[in-house]
Structure 1
Amino acid sequence: MQVFVFDWTAYAENVDKFRKDGKLTRLGKEHFEPQVAIDTFRNHVSAWVELEKQGFDGIAINEHHGTPFGLGNSPNLMAAALSQLTEKIKILVYANLLPIHEPLRLAEEIAMLDCMTGGRLICGVGRGAPREYKIFNVPMDESRGRFNEGFEVMRRAWTQDSFSFDGEFYKFNDVAIWPRPVQQPHPPVWIPLTGSKESIEWAAENDAAITPGVFPGPMREDTIRYFAKCQAKHGRKVDPNKISIMVDCYVADSKDQAIDEYGDHLMYLFNTLLRYDQVWQNEVKKTKYYSSTAFEHLREGAKGTLAEDGTVFNEWDIDTVRGAAQNMPLGTADEIVERITAECDDAGANNVLLVINRGDMPHGKYMNQIKRIGEEVLPRLQAHNVTVVPHAQGEVLAK
């Protein structure tokens, strides 16, 4: 099994100090501390280098804008920096947000990164959160169309000697990019699936690797079932090597110790970072970001998807942490290995994305987790091999 660490590169200092009357207003120039940002980038890059030393298979970095939740405004820049400091570890950009960017430029950057990494790049693509559309003034009604056209432009740029494209949003005539990707026909494509039917269909059509759902349960199971059905139409079976799950974990000498050491960071994540300057679903539902049939393949509809604010936007206190921790891989190394392998077996995922540094975790604690997981957990996870996708069984391949 491949083991990645997913790192949001959160602003290193807790911004709750800027609350007034309990409320956190939009952060501006007066709140930004350059040295904190400098330290954030430097410390995270050093942590990613340590991941390679410890033998992790990959690092995953992503894109967000205008928020202390993550300073990955351009994950491609961070991937470029890391490419020159490492030799083996895979770099998963998870993900470039296609609808808010010019796709030819992205195709060129990804080709460059594939060269700079010597073919270690994994190209993650996504539509992005509603707040990104607000920032870049891109109509959410255009999200799906821009995503589909954007990737098609990228695919043609990578695979054709020269290409032309005449779409609703993008038009190109006789373009040939240089340099070209190292990996052929292009770097592996991964996509996070958070519920919508059209994204699952797109993933199957393009034979992309998927991360199905935020949490285990019906939504993830139904996503995998529908993905298998769509893959079968293209004459393919679902491969465990093309499924990943994301899990929070924290290794300690006991469950109580893990809660004591990690709990504050989880509460800061849910109570501050995830909620900061958010666009809520009552506004999203006024747009066509989700189609009218987006969740008809799910037995519980939109429940458990990111189309419901309650999926992730909840107030947490220490009792919430204690309750959640009972079913999370927080605690001893043995418990972490047992819980993660069981969840991977259930999902049929032979890749796992570990989240080990939520919120304002100090750099020293993050590095300690990398080393402890590297020594006590990583070898056992990598030795585990998932060969079956239980929720994909029974789909008949197209002839």
Structure 2
Amino acid sequence: MKFFNFHLMPYRHADLDAIQKNGSAWVTFSNAHYDPALGAELYHEYLDQMEYADQLGFDGVCLNEHHQTAYGLMPIPGVLAGALARSVKRAKIAVLGRALPLVNNPLTVAEEFAMLDNLTRGRFIAGFVRGIGAEYHAMGINPAESQARFAEAHDLIVRAWTEPGPFSYMGKHYQFQYVNPWPRPYQQPRPPIWVPSQGSSSTIRWAAGLRYTYCQTLSPIATVKKFFDMYREEARKAGYEAGRDQLAWSNCIYVAETDERAMAEARPHLEALMTRLLKMPMEMLLPPGYTNIEAMKRIKATRAVGAKPQSVEDLVKSGLVIIGSPSTVREKLAEYEELAGFGTTLTKTQFGTMPDGMVRANMQAIAQEIIPHFKDAA
């Protein structure tokens, strides 16, 4: 199994009571709550943590893209990936991912990612997403055009990477007389493409058809298994057997000396993530036109069941997070690996309001007590 350190880079100094009164940490939570001095320190703290992950032996580090939210301070993940491209010496750098429908010129993403691929000498992983519904409120993009804009932007970027230019491109949403980006990617014919999703059947079908690595976002392990099984079935329909390296699970892991101590230490920070930073109303998560009726019914049903905030114990029991002593974490991760059949764990070692000292101790424990067990088993 490969271990990637996935950082959300939250504004961990956020006033949680103010978020609760506002109803969400997204879009409508005033940026008057952002202190630039604290924010600047956080950026350096988080970049230092990513560099530490490389030094500890993690296989990769992951960034992502969100807008107008205290949940994550990465509206332009390429800026942070560029800062890491020379300081992270060994691990891969993944942007999981760029929200393609939000950009009016997909060629800028093709250029940005090709630069990162050159700077890392081929250690770059390109992630493509549609972006969650809140991003469409933040960026003023019609959510009804999301899927079409995503498909067209993806096709244009891949052609720009793999087809010598100049050539013209005339689509519905994007038109270019000249497509001829410099530089070309370092990896040939292109960087690997990973596709994170909350479990959209159309996204899973599309990713499997193109043999892209599918990344399931933070979800209970039973849900992870269901969607990974769906990917494997779609791969068979496409004429091949999907390998474990094509499936990655995003999770939170926290390790301490005992189960009791791990739960006590992780609890406030996990609660901050789940009940404050992730919270948003349905109309923000699923704006009209963003998804089809079947998917909306499924998501509403799921949210109705879990409308009341879950306890940390419930989150652990469902396998959404793994918290405990080294032996407990090893046991649970091995159990989930066998159940769902994934080859990569995208692990949030920092979550919610967790301070730097705790994060580093957690990273070190994972590197020393967890990763070697799975490397030796392989």
In the superposition, the TM-score normalised over structure 2's length comes to: 0.91
Alignment of 1:127-146 (within 5 A): 127-146=130-149
Moved more, 121-130 or 12-21: 12-21
The partner residue of 2:309 within 308, 315, 333 is 315
1:245 touches 1:344 (CA, 8 Å); kept in 2?
Answer: no
Structure 2 SS opposite 1:3 = strand
Alignment of 1:285-364 (within 5 A): 287-292=288-293, 294=295, 302=298, 305=299, 308-310=302-304, 314-316=308-310, 320-326=311-317, 327=319, 328-364=321-357
1:16 touches 1:272 (CA, 8 Å); kept in 2?
Answer: yes
For structure 1, the residue ranges without an aligned partner over 5 or more in a row are: 296-300, 386-399
2:207 touches 2:213 (CA, 8 Å); kept in 1?
Answer: yes
1:224-269 CA distances to partner (integer Å, 9 max, x unpaired)? 3332232233322101111111221111111111111010001111
Write the letter of the residue equivalent to 1:338. Answer: E
1:213 touches 1:219 (CA, 8 Å); kept in 2?
Answer: no
Separation of aligned partners in 2, 1:307 and 1:109: 39
Is the aligned partner of 1:201 residue 2:205?
yes
Change (3 A) 1:293 1:43: same
Question: Which residue is 2:60 aligned to?
Answer: 58
The partner residue of 1:376 within 353, 369, 374 is 369
- Whose helix fraction is larger, Structure 1's or Structure 2's? 2
Separation of aligned partners in 2, 1:321 and 1:154: 41
The partner residue of 1:190 within 186, 190, 194 is 194
Is the aligned partner of 1:30 residue 2:23?
no
2:224 touches 2:249 (CA, 8 Å); kept in 1?
Answer: no
2:221 touches 2:340 (CA, 8 Å); kept in 1?
Answer: no
2:24 touches 2:281 (CA, 8 Å); kept in 1?
Answer: no
Separation of aligned partners in 1, 2:343 and 2:24: 40
Question: Which residue is 2:250 aligned to?
Answer: 246
Figure out how many residues of one structure are paired with residues of the other and give that number.
372
1:63 touches 1:73 (CA, 8 Å); kept in 2?
Answer: yes
Change (3 A) 1:270 1:205: same
Change (3 A) 1:160 1:359: same
Deviation at 1:5, TM superposition (A): 1.2
The partner residue of 2:152 within 125, 143, 149 is 149
Structure 1 SS opposite 2:250 = strand
In the superposition, the TM-score normalised over structure 1's length comes to: 0.86
Write the letter of the residue equivalent to 1:2. Answer: K
Question: Which residue is 1:105 aligned to?
Answer: 108
1:9 touches 1:71 (CA, 8 Å); kept in 2?
Answer: yes
Question: Which residue is 1:392 aligned to?
Answer: none
1:76 touches 1:109 (CA, 8 Å); kept in 2?
Answer: yes
Deviation at 1:279, TM superposition (A): 4.7
Separation of aligned partners in 1, 2:351 and 2:133: 22
Change (3 A) 1:313 1:49: farther
2:132 touches 2:285 (CA, 8 Å); kept in 1?
Answer: no
1:10-50 CA distances to partner (integer Å, 9 max, x unpaired)? 11313225469696784435322111111110001111111
Question: Which residue is 2:162 aligned to?
Answer: 159
Alignment of 1:65-144 (within 5 A): 65-101=67-103, 102-144=105-147
1:56-106 CA distances to partner (integer Å, 9 max, x unpaired)? 101111111111110011111110000021211111111110110121110
How big is the alpha-carbon RMSD for the aligned residues of Structure 1 and Structure 2?
A: 2.4
Separation of aligned partners in 2, 1:144 and 1:21: 33
Structure 2 SS opposite 1:118 = coil
2:133 touches 2:284 (CA, 8 Å); kept in 1?
Answer: no
Deviation at 1:174, TM superposition (A): 3.2
Question: Which residue is 2:172 aligned to?
Answer: 168
Structure 2 SS opposite 1:161 = coil
Moved more, 148-157 or 231-240: 231-240
Percent of paired sites with the same residue: 28
